[in-house]
Homo-oligomer: A and B are copies of this chain.
Amino acid sequence: MTTTPATSLRISQHYDRVRQQSVYLCTPLETEDYTVQPTEDVSPPKWHLGHSTWFFENFILAEHAPGYRHFDERLNWFFNSYYESQGPRILRSRRGNMTRPTLQVILDYRRHVDAAMQELLEKDDETVRILTTLGLHHEQQHQELLLTDIKYILGSNPLYPVYRQGEMEKATSVAHTFLSIAGGQYTIGHSGPGFCWDNELSRHDVLVEDFGIGSRLVTNGEYRAFMEDGGYERFELWQMEGIAWARELEIKAPLYWYPQGGDWKHYTLNGGLADIDPHLPVTHISWYEADAYARWAGARLATEFEWEIACRQLEPEVPRRGNWVERKDFHPTPARNADDHQLLGHCWEWTNSAYLPYPRYPRPEGALGEYNGKFMVNQMVLRGGSCATPVSHIRPTYRNFFQTDKRWQFTGIRLATDR
């Protein structure tokens, strides 16, 4: 699943920074916030802190650190997520019932594992370095989940507590156009020295036809026009499965939009319950909604190949957006001008590609083969990375994937058209 680690930091220093970041993300929380699981997809923050630690203990220390003493072997049951090869584990839906180990114990667990990891990293073993890089990427995926899960925990509480106070960037109207991309034969998938996941391989060629790609993300104001045009009732705009989902759950707006006195407000991490800026990208929508919106707009979603091709042409350099650790917006930012295409680091953009293996997909043996390879059915690919995604997870070839009804990630809509 890995290629050569791409970090320019010494690995032990990088290890420290990434590990501290997970704890830092939780600092605004009350102890109570760490424990609950209001819906099956959302894990308790303290579970994330424990699970990412277990990953290092179980896959690196237990295998590669001679004489390593487990912090507490009983924790395997709590913190194994879904690795069948790693023994029995708690039902996913019951993570939120486990008040013990407490947060304090888990923080002790982190210190115990971190100390052992630093000692091991001293030895400068290549296998350990590769596995550690993998573990840190894994931890960063959980940092994104920490933010989205915290948002769900706080945002479904009628007190709407603010996570970290911040200003929302003021937005102005920027026209939406379709940019033409020439069809032809393109190469898809990761190459080069940096890290990538197994599912970004094998690099291979595809043919695409000429297509147009939306110049920016769809905004709250545009999405609201869809709502006001009866978008959620007009069956002809939807996949049958999609409108059945919306009807069953009585869905009439994006997640976190709440009716207030005849208008809508939405919950944000940095402002609590807040007015909805019509120029900001719409987010927290399902694939079903993205697909219906696109049909309403007379367009369609891009395939993941179209998206990757467009991204390479329109975003020749992957933006860094400053030091991510310091980011305080926790919300997709607006397009600032006609050349701000918002392809990387704003929303995870639903594509119209199913999550399936690339040709010659190198499914790994053993536990790591369970990482990406056993989810390749009935999910759709998302591209681009969101405002909650660590910078090193933002690249044109990164394939995120979720079921079509999921809304708690910072998901968004990019339109495309035939040409």
Among A3-11, A28-36, A165-173, the one that faces the other chain is: A28-36
**Which residue on chain B has the smallest CB distance to residue A34?**
B32
The reply to whether A85 and B236 form a contact with Cβ atoms under 8 Å apart is yes
Q: Is A20's CB within 8 Å of the partner chain B?
A: no
Instruction: Let me know if A206 is at the binding interface, CB within 8 A.
Output: yes
Say whether A369 faces chain B, with CB atoms less than 8 Å apart. Answer: yes
Bound-state Cα–Cα, A98 to B293, Å: 33
Q: Answer yes or no: A386 CB below 8 A from chain B CBs.
A: no
- Interface centre among A30, A354, A377, by most B CB within 10 Å? A377
Contact flags (1/0) for A221-258 with B, using CB distance below 8 Å?
Answer: 00000000000000110111110000000000000000
A189 within 8 A of B: no
- Min Cβ gap A149→B in Å is 12
With contacts A235-B84, A418-B359 taken as known, whether A36 is within 8 angstroms of B35 at the C-beta atoms is yes
Does A175 belong to the interface (CB within 8 Å)? no
The digit string for A199-223, where 1 denotes a CB below 8 A from any CB of B, is: 0000011110100000000000000
Pairwise interchain contact A99-B36, C-beta atoms closer than 8 A: yes
- A111-154 contacts to B, CB under 8 A, are 153-154
Interface of chain A: mostly helix, strand, loop or mixed:
mixed
Of all chain B residues, the one with the shortest Cβ separation from A186 is B207
List the B side residues contacting A204 at CB < 8 Å.
Answer: 209
* A321 proximal to B (CB < 8 A): no
State whether the Cβ of A180 lies closer than 8 Å to any Cβ in chain B: no
Residues of chain B within 8 A of A156, CB atoms compared: 97
Q: Tell me how far the C-beta of A314 lies from the nearest C-beta in chain B, rounded to whole angstroms.
A: 21
How many Å lie between the Cα of A206 and that of B195 in the bound state?
A: 29
What distance in Å separates the Cβ of A78 from its nearest Cβ neighbour in chain B?
8
| A378 at the binding interface (Cβ < 8 Å) | yes
Task: Check A74–B32 contact: CB distance below 8 A.
Answer: no
Q: Do A159 and B97 have beta carbons less than 8 Å apart?
A: no
Q: Which residues of B contact A82 (CB under 8 A)?
A: 240
B238 close to A157 (CB less than 8 A): no
- In the bound complex, residues from chain B placing their C-beta under 8 Å from that of A377 are 239, 241-242, 287-288, 291, 380, 404
Q: Which of A346-399 contact B (CB under 8 A)?
A: 352-354, 356-357, 359-360, 369-370, 374-378, 380
Taking the complex as formed, is A276 at the interface, i.e. its CB lies under 8 A from any CB of chain B?
no
Task: Choose from B96, B157, B205 the contact partner of A96 (Cβ within 8 Å).
Answer: B96
Q: Do B374 and A238 have beta carbons less than 8 Å apart?
A: yes
| A window 61-84: CB within 8 A of B | 74, 77-78, 82, 84
Say if the beta carbon of A103 comes within 8 Å of chain B: yes
CB of A161 within 8 A of chain B? yes
Does B159 lie within 8 Å of A101, measured CB to CB? yes
Query: Which residues of the other chain, B, contact A153 by a CB distance below 8 angstroms?
Result: 97, 99
**Is there an interface contact between B159 and A100, defined as CB atoms closer than 8 Å?**
yes
Residue A327 interfacial (CB < 8 Å): no
Q: Are A376 and B209 CB-contacts (below 8 A) given A36-B97, A99-B33, A99-B36? A: no
Please name 9 pairs of A and B residues whose Cβ atoms are closer than 8 Å in the assembled complex, sorted by A: A30-B99, A32-B102, A36-B98, A74-B158, A85-B235, A96-B96, A97-B157, A239-B377, A291-B377
7 additional contacts (CB under 8 A) given A36-B99, A205-B207: A36-B36, A78-B158, A97-B156, A98-B157, A204-B209, A239-B376, A288-B377
User: What 6 A-B pairs have minimum CB-CB distances, sorted nearest first?
Assistant: A354-B354, A38-B97, A32-B99, A84-B235, A31-B31, A240-B374
